[in-house]
Amino acid sequence: MFPNILMTGGGGYVGSALVPALLKQGHKVKVVDTFWYGEQVFGDCNAHPALTRIGKDIRDTAAMKEAMRGVDAVIHLACISNDPSFELDP
């Protein structure tokens, strides 16, 4: 079991469903996301004591190094969604 999870892009569509499920299973979850669409995306778990939000870009290496402290597993979901460049070479 991985008690301490870091999720990149956790404020998006998939992460907003996965984070509450992991919290309910007893994991501690750190979410690194720019939160362009707001931070209140985790429903009833928004105030969960085992949830840590880190409002940073994953390209910020210093922030990522700090966020990785004490982490047992990483779930990488970060990407730029709905970007027209994705259609250039699918």
pLDDT in tens, 13-58: 999 999 999 999 999 999 999 998 888 999 999 999 999 999 999 9
Please, which residues have CB within 8 angstroms of residue 26's CB and are 6 or more apart in sequence? 3, 50
pTM over 0.75: yes
How many folded domains does the chain comprise? Answer: 1
Which own/partner contact pairs does 63-68 have at CB distance under 8 Å and 24+ positions apart?
63/32, 64/32, 67/6, 67/30, 67/32, 68/6
What's the CATH code of the domain at 44? Answer: 3.40.50.720
Q: Which helix (H) or strand (E) holds 51?
A: strand 51-54
What pLDDT does 25 receive?
Answer: 97
- Domain containing 11 equals 4-87
